[in-house]
Amino acid sequence: MASIKIPWYKFWDRGSASSTSKNYMIGQSSPDWLNENTLLDWYNYVPQVKTVINRKASMASNMKIKLLQGYGEDLTEIDSHPVLSLLKTPNILQSQKEFITQNWVFFEVFGESFTLMNGREFTSVPSSIFNLPNTLLKVNPTGKLYKQIEKDGIYESFELEANGKTETYQAEEIIHFANYGGSDGIRGQSILKTLQFPVSNTKKSYEARNVLIAKRGAIGILSNSSSDETGGIPLKPKEKDELQEKFDLKYGLREDQSQVVVTNGSLKWQAMNFDVRELALHLEETQNFRILVDAYGLNMNIFSEEKGATFENQKEGQRAAYESTIIPQAETFMEKLSKELLTDQEIANGMRLVADYSHLPCLQANQKEKAEAEDRRAAAFKKNVEGIVALESIGQGLDDQQIQDLLDL
């Protein structure tokens, strides 16, 4: 009978109760298999992940939502509108800031977020909006995509399973925010999936330190140093028991215990300590944290991990994070909200929701620099115009091309 060769990975059972023993047989420990629960666990239990995502979501929630209409000289801001009232108080549980923070946390953890619009069947503006937890929501696609012109042609339904009950929502009731990193062209993909090794290593680094602290094992060996012509003399069982009992009860760090062993026996000590610094766990965590910060488009200077960061560095780090990451992402967020909450006619008339961060101190300095640069440019332009007029008054006028070059037209 011919032998059958089975690849080693076929013995690696991802979910069975015996998977641990099987993995040890091939010299491997069970890895962190990626699914939505794993992503949520990483957010909940890896401090660096929660720190970065919460900081980004908190910074994003500093936006002021404005409703604008028109462009250029015809641009106007609309102060009163049902959509603005809705976003100011999205639902009975959350403020605008809380709603945005939660939405961004879901988006950054899972690569997508889902918002339910209540009461849309009665009015053009929903009565309330809620962010739905990703781990409890099931998306049922139709299987069709590129030839569809309505959402219900792409999404068949959404099912929320919570507290033993299932609620079903139609496509027009859900706002789906996604980074579209998934292979199906519909679902988003979490950034954490591309960071599975740094994040998993960080998690295991904390686990290793916990084991080293909680379960140190024996710190050393007390043995008999006496010897005769045949060699070392081992302690008798009774002597070992008495020595262990005295050591456990009499010696230690409590106030009623002694810290120095006094005995008639001839003993020697053999340390069994391990230098934890050799594992370089802190270095591993720091490197992984930097990778995480870069992946989420933030700046190390805004975190306490970065030692020696000055106030100016922190402010520059905040400005860089807003300008390069948060503001562009907020624009995409607002485009989606505009499309879902405003009517087609309002959008056709140039109405749109925008996220404004210009009130933030770290960006106001930038606005001041821009204003000063504009003032300098205007002063130089005025001076050049005056020079051209002066030359023309004495009959030394310039031709059109020279004037354009001088005025940078």
Q: What is the pLDDT of residues 267-293, one digit of tens each?
A: 777 666 655 565 556 677 888 899 999
- Each residue's pLDDT tens digit, 170-217: 999 999 999 877 667 788 999 999 898 889 888 888 887 777 666 555
| Lowest mean pLDDT segment, chosen from 243-257, 312-326, 350-364 | 243-257
139 DSSP β-pair partners? 158
Please check the confidence at residue 328 and state whether its pLDDT lies above 70.
yes
Distance CA 47, CA 43 (A): 8
Nearest Cα neighbor of 136 from 108, 106, 111, 173 is: 106
At 254, the pLDDT band (50, 70, 90 cuts) reads low
Task: Count Cβ atoms within 10 A of the Cβ of residue 409 and give its class: 0-12 exposed, 13-18 middle, 19 or more buried.
Answer: exposed
Total count of residues recorded for the chain? 409
224 contact partners, CB below 8 Å, separation of at least 6: 232, 233, 234, 235, 239, 265, 266, 267, 268
Question: Is the C-alpha dihedral spanning 311, 313, 314, 315 positive or negative?
Answer: positive
- CA 408 to mean position of chain CA atoms: 45
| Paired tokens of 217 | 């094992």
Order across the sheet with 64-69: list the strands: 76-78, 64-69, 351-356
What are the start-end ranges of the H helices in 155-236? Answer: 191-194, 196-214
- DSSP characters for 49-92? HHHHHHHHHHHHTT-EEEEEES-GGG-EEE---HHHHHHHS-SS
- Each residue's pLDDT tens digit, 307-320: 666 778 888 899 99
What's the pLDDT score for residue 7?
46
Q: How close are the terminal C-alpha atoms of the chain, in Å?
A: 88
